[in-house]
Structure formats: C-alpha cells, structure tokens
Amino acid sequence: MRVVVVGQGYVGLPLAIAAAKSGHFVTGIDTNIKLVEMLSGGRSTISDVSNHDIASTQVSGHYSISSDFAVIADAEIIIICVPTPLDKKRQPDLSYLENALKAVGRHLAPNTLVINESTIAPGATRKVVAPILEESGIPFELAYSPERIDPANPKWNVTNTPKLVAGLTDAATKRAEEFYKTFISEVGTGSSLEVIETAKLLENSFRLINISFINELAQICAQLNIDVREVIDAAATKPYGFMPFYPSAGVGGHCIPVDPVYLAAKANELGTPSRFIELAQEINLQIPDYFVGVATRLLGSLAGKRILVVGVAYKPNVADTRETPAEGLIETLRRAGADVEWHDELVQEWNSETSTPLSDSFDLAILVNPHSDTDFSLLGSTPVLNTRGGY
C-alpha cells in the first residue's frame, strides 16, 4: 500500500521503516528541513533505526522522505505521529496535531484512511480530529492507534509490541487492523475510540503513579540507611501481585509526564476527581527539591560549589531530552547558588550549553540518567549522589 507517515521522529521513523520493510511504499513527511536532509542522505536521527535500515529501504524504493504535504494526494493510508506535549502552563497542547491535520486535509484524497498515533484525551478523535478533517469536504475513514515506543529497549520494538486500534466506524477499524497486521505480530481492537484513547492514558498514568510512589519509598529507605534497589529486588521475587519500579530524579520523556495530564484534564472537564494523578504529579515535580536538599546536607551551603550532573537525557542510552528531570534539578541547584555543569555523551548540546567532560575537579557529581558506557572512573575521588538509588 501507499503510506504516508507524518512526523519522522522517535515514533514516526521506526514505524515508517517497519512498514517499508514489510513491502509498503512509505513516504515520511516532516517540517524539520535539517531532519529531512539527513534522512534523504541515508543518515538516521535516532538509535533505534540504523543508517542501513534507511539506505536499504530507500534503495528498494519503499521509503522516501519529504517536507511537502502534497505527496498525501497519492496515499491510501496516512498515519499521524506528531508531538502532543504540554504547554508552559503544563496543560495539553494539541497545536502540532491540529496543524498536521489541517495540512493533511488540504491534500486528502477520497476514502483515504487516516490513523492518528499521537496521544490525545478520550473523545478527541471524535470531537477534535474528525471535525478538522471534515473541513476538507472529502470523504475519509478515521482510526486511532496509540504509539507504543520505548526508545533503546533491546527487547520490544514496533513489530513485536502489541498494537491497539479503534475506528470511527467498524470499516475503519477493520481496515486499520488489517494494515497493521502486515508488519506487527499482534493487533487488538477496541469497541470504541474512547476505550483505546483511555487505555493509552491508563498505561502511562499507572507508571507515573508507581514511579512517584517508589521515589517516596527511596526517601524512606535513605532515612533507614538501606538500599532501596535491594528492597525492590527482594519484593520482586514474589511471582504474583507485584511489579518492580525504580527510583529516579523524576519521570521524563514524551509519555509518562505528559499522558496523565491529558487524562486529568479530561477528568476535570467531566467534573470527576483524579486525585492519584494530581498527587503523583506533585510528588514528581518536588523530587529536584529533595535531591538539592541531599546535596546541601553533603556539602553544606551550595553557593559557589562546582556540581556536575551526569546524564541529562530523559532515560539512559537515548539522546532525547524531552521533559528530562535533569532540567528541574539543574535549575534548582543554580537557584541555590551552585555552579552547575552537565555531562552527556549522547546529548552533547542542550539548552544552548555543551556537555562538560567527566573529571575529578567537581565538589559533587549527581547521577540522573547516565548511559551504560559512562566511564565513572574519570570522576576520580569526586563524591557521587545517585538519584537512581543504590550505593
């Protein structure tokens, strides 16, 4: 089939390449000209897709990249994979999705299947996505299939992670299901759009709540002078009724800190409380203050102290800094008067700053999300505060 994937980032690019490898003719669209130029030259922008993956699908004619939405006119299926982040007030921001939908609508061919993979609130496919596409006056089919991407996960990827699908009509559901089954091993359907929209938000609200709880437990274990990771691993020996989560400087990325806000916003709109989500958010946002307090107890006043934050990506072994907990930690340390630098082998440049080499010239190193190949020996005798637990 002729497929267009709008958005060629951490979600859209792996999806496009997986579909291309299965024999579909895929065109990726992105408005980031630099990214388009890199992909056109066969250079991948993310670790989960290799240069060979891109080059081989380009040579076979099954993958191409463009910044021109006009290519949509020839598509049988259009998949939208654009960010739906939070705005400066930490409220849902659908502007990227709305702009993408308007661009799609200007070039839509009759009876094209449009699938949104971007995270949205329950009811938004029916009340936001469909009306924008209807402005085109062109008949179309519509489905929702939330992305499930875990960058740098060595086990789970696009093709072996179960997929969920629901359509505006039964025909749209069936068409989307049949498409995804051509390159994904397991595809399940829901009885309505709202079921699948809510399921996506449940997945990551569950993770936010449990990680926030574990971060509280880590603080208790610190007072007890025991290793929280040993406690978690001991509890995880129970073969039922328990799932391990691990401490951190706070949750980050494009899902866990974001998706629960979409669910909470919808709950507020309905007049239904979402106290667990609200409390988990509150705990998560307070974690930088806790670790600044720990750093203060270790060093005394932080004024003028040189502190190195190690790993500013939102998780180890990726270069993605979206919603990284390192940002709040660095800001809080600097407000306390510390001279803060950061090191990250994969990120290198971030917030108009560059990565600082590891060395023993710091008063304290704080580990946020160090990568697996970080050489800690370069820190020498520098005291280390590990926000991920353990000693």
- The answer on pLDDT for 391 being more than 90 is no
Give the rounded percent of residues in the chain with a pLDDT score beyond 90: 97
Q: How does residue 242 score in pLDDT terms, banded at 50, 70 and 90?
A: very high
pLDDT in tens, 293-314: 999 999 999 999 999 999 999 9
Residue 47: the pLDDT is: 86
Q: How does residue 365 score in pLDDT terms, banded at 50, 70 and 90?
A: very high
Residue 390: the pLDDT is: 67
CA distance 230 to 236: 10
Q: Looking at the domain 206-386, which fold is it?
A: Rossmann fold (3.40.50)
**Mean pLDDT, residues 361-368 taken together:** 97
Domain segments of the chain: what residues?
2-190, 206-386
* CATH number of the domain located at residue range(s) 2-190 in this protein: 3.40.50.720
Assigned token pair, 322: 């979206």
What's the mean per-residue pLDDT of the chain? 96
Residue 186: the pLDDT is: 98
**Per-residue b or e along 102-136, where b marks 16 or more CB atoms closer than 10 Å to that residue's CB:** ebbbebbeeebbbbbbbbbbbbbbbebbbebbeee
Given 255, 258, 340, 358, which residue is catalytic? 255
Is 81 labeled as catalytic in the residue annotation?
Answer: no
pTM of the entire structure?
0.93
pLDDT in tens, 191-238: 999 999 999 999 999 999 999 999 999 999 999 999 999 999 999 999
CA distance 47 to 322: 16
- The answer on pLDDT for 254 being more than 90 is no
- The answer on pLDDT for 40 being more than 80 is yes
